[in-house]
Amino acid sequence: MEVNIRHLRNGTPRNSISLLDRGLHYGDGLFETILIHKNKCILWKEHLERLQDGCKRLALPSPGASILKKEAKRLIHTTQEGILKIILTRGESERGYAIPSHPKPTRILSLFPPPFYPKKNWQEGIHAMICRTQLSCTPDLAGIKHLNRLEQVLARSEWKDPNIAEGLMQSTENRVIEGTMSNVFLEKEGVFHTPSLQECGVAGVMRRFLLNFFEKAGWPYEVRPIIPAEVFEANSLFFCNSLFGIWPVLQLDHYKFCISPKIRKLQKCLPPGLFPS
């Protein structure tokens, strides 16, 4: 069995791509970032379904679930804890935006060490800020996890304070959308609310998991446009993603929130590896 392989490009150990790759030139592609816990890819099915949906939306040839599963196993077979990143681009082309008539996609799977997050982020809650950088409204790209992430890069560059764990982003239409690396939920009078992502934002895998949980558990929730004033009126607030699960918010700028019993219960219902013991 192979050891110490960290990167596969189209199934072959490589740590470089062509200078003509459209992912490099135009961000023409998709990606998924998947938690590895006890040698398993957490929420694998949900990640693959989002990737397949992105392929359909971008008319990007899909490698198929069986190939990705085989290559993922090849990379993580000795890994107890870590991160698997899948990148799919449209492959090489000559200069110009026009899509090649017969694209040959580039498929990259990479293995990374597990991220470090302080346990207090889960247990005590986090401090967050409202970002100045806004998300452009582009319905054709809304929801999918495409490679164009400069808005998030700019938003994340707005703070260097280690006490701030996340930033809240709004759209150019002044709607609350998401965190720089996460989705957001508000809780008010026992009802959870999360922003509609019809115009922009990433439909996170953890967001999907939680919406399914609410549906099955009969917990009241709403997916709808949310304005900033509603955030400050909420009783509780949390950010979520598929790497850290749920981080309750103690303070957003100068606004303070509580950690509700429902949020504590949600944390304990997450898949393995997403709530520290």
Per-residue pLDDT of 235-257, as tens digits, reads: 999 999 999 999 999 999 999 99
Percent of the chain with pLDDT over 90: 93
Report whether CATH 3.40.50.300 matches the domain 120-268.
Answer: no
Q: What is the mean pLDDT of the chain?
A: 95
* Structure confidence at residue 1 (pLDDT): 47
Tell me what percent of the residues of the chain surpass a pLDDT of 70: 99
Geometric angle at alpha carbon 78, from 73 and 82, rounded to 5°: 85
- 7-112: CATH number: 3.30.470.10
pLDDT for position 3: 58
Q: What is the pLDDT of residues 125-153, one digit of tens each?
A: 999 999 999 999 999 999 999 999 999 99
Domain 7-112 and domain 120-268, same fold? Reply is no
Please say whether the dihedral angle defined by the alpha carbons of residues 238, 54, 220 and 262, taken in this order, is positive or negative: negative
| Structure tokens given for 139 | 């319905």
Provide mean pLDDT across the span 26-35: 97
- Binned at pLDDT 50, 70 and 90, residue 24 comes out as very high
Model pLDDT, residue 227: 97
Q: How far is CA 75 from CA 15, 39, 89, 110, 205, in A?
A: 14, 10, 20, 8, 22
Catalytic residue among 71, 92, 166, 178: 178
Strand residue runs (E) in the chain: 7-9, 12-13, 29-37, 40-41, 81-89, 106-112, 126-135, 164-171, 176-179, 183-188, 191-195, 221-224, 236-241, 245-252, 255-256
Candidates 32, 33, 92, 194; catalytic one: 33
Based on the residue annotation, tell me whether 178 is a catalytic residue of this protein. yes
Q: Stretch 201-221: mean pLDDT, rounded?
A: 97
Instruction: Read off the pLDDT of each residue in 26-40 and give the average, rounded to a whole number.
Output: 96
Q: In the prediction, which pLDDT does 43 show?
A: 97
Model confidence pTM above 0.75? yes
- The pairs formed by 186-191 with CB atoms below 8 angstroms and a separation of 24 or more are 186/226, 186/230, 186/231, 186/234, 186/236, 186/237, 187/234, 187/235, 187/236, 187/237, 187/238, 187/260, 187/262, 187/263, 188/230, 188/233, 188/234, 188/235, 189/235, 190/220, 190/262, 191/220, 191/221, 191/222
Quote the radius of gyration of the chain (alpha carbons, Å): 19
Res 4: pLDDT: 72
Selecting among 79, 106, 145, 199, the annotated active-site residue is 145
- On the question of pLDDT at 2 being above 90, the answer is no
Q: Does residue 113 or residue 5 have the better pLDDT?
A: 113
List the domain boundaries for the chain: 7-112, 120-268
